Structure 1
């Protein structure tokens, strides 16, 4: 899909971070954009800042964990804009702790947002993409999908591995059934977002994590991304380039990602487990 002007994009997690940056780049490219997030106040503010007149955006508060809400979103976008051409399943959260201490509710929350949010989006919007005759899906995973050595992050890592696997499988399937629809998976490394503050949206049944090791890991990630993390706008540029070029893998930190994959291959060959990676 090399021509974006006049097309319609849907971006979840659009109120901040990578999602907001993707939405802004889509608008800059001449697209109309459905801005979707669970945080209504931030979403409303973002919509006003990106499109003060409100003529090129549609704003919807949606919990991507709920298939019915995502189905209603798809219907609303088609009714408002007449079509969908680009779907960015970007909403994501992080919560965790030492493995044996992670609650069932924590596992469900992270998997439901990060993984089932992607599944729900793809299922709800594929009919509209097919009706458009061409389109593209971008699913946000993480470099954690190829680098599993971060302690206390099992739910997040598991969810992102799942997004990567489903995205690869979907790309293969659509290449046969719907060659006009491309698929990309975004594997961002450190990016200056609010991911380390995910618990601001924690449901009431998900207990806060006050484990010292967990806090140390989160503080390390927060410090590293503040110091060295990419600006979300740089990630958004890479996303739209991938859409135009029909590239599957979007690697914001190419060399570290390839190194992590090489370590995994070496682990497969030798069974010599690599040391876990720890952010300092």
Structure 2
């Protein structure tokens, strides 16, 4: 029997206060947890836990052994973290999925810098706005923009960006400047296919939240295409500031109804599990956090 697993299970039971809760925490069956603790007591020849139907308590020997086990496990974890953090020679293949526009504009310039820091690492970067299944498709990490749904995945926020309602001056001169979101129903709208609300756009204004149904004249799964159509005076778009910020600064696009906020989107690094996180993924997450610090929501 693995002594480390026995000690880890025993500490888990004591810290959780029950065999059932420890089983959930350790991702083991209750029967396995009970067997590991019983085998440990049998091997040591002492009772470590008093068991009743309502509660668990440590015997005197259990208190001593629990303290020693905690110290040993903590020391092992510290040693692993220290060795991992000291190793600069991460290697192997790192498969990433990143959004197309954000990947081109803001991530593409970073990959060379990251690769220079870790020359033995091989990068496989896929640009797609499709929400991939990290486990099924074999990705180590994805960058996602939006409001994350609850899932079994682990995420770390890298930055944020606000959504901007805008159009070109020429379009507004020809069709008028809307002053209330309800007027968007009468305007040409260029819609992004992957937007979760589809043709219903939400705003938070002086009187609270309101939703507006739009009638897109152009629909596309590319934010760049939305922007290009707006610059060609074809209609109104709702796109993130990281994409249209330079156009707003240059005056080629004009923000509409700034008193009605369309909200912010988080920019996240998403990965399958926090447990046994590889050094290469940890290094990439820390790198992206450092590089994107201070960015957003206006970019």
When the two structures are superposed, what TM-score results if normalisation uses the length of structure 2?
0.22
Structure exhibiting the larger radius of gyration computed from Cα positions: 2
Higher helix proportion (structure 1 or 2): 1
When the two structures are superposed, what TM-score results if normalisation uses the length of structure 1?
0.24
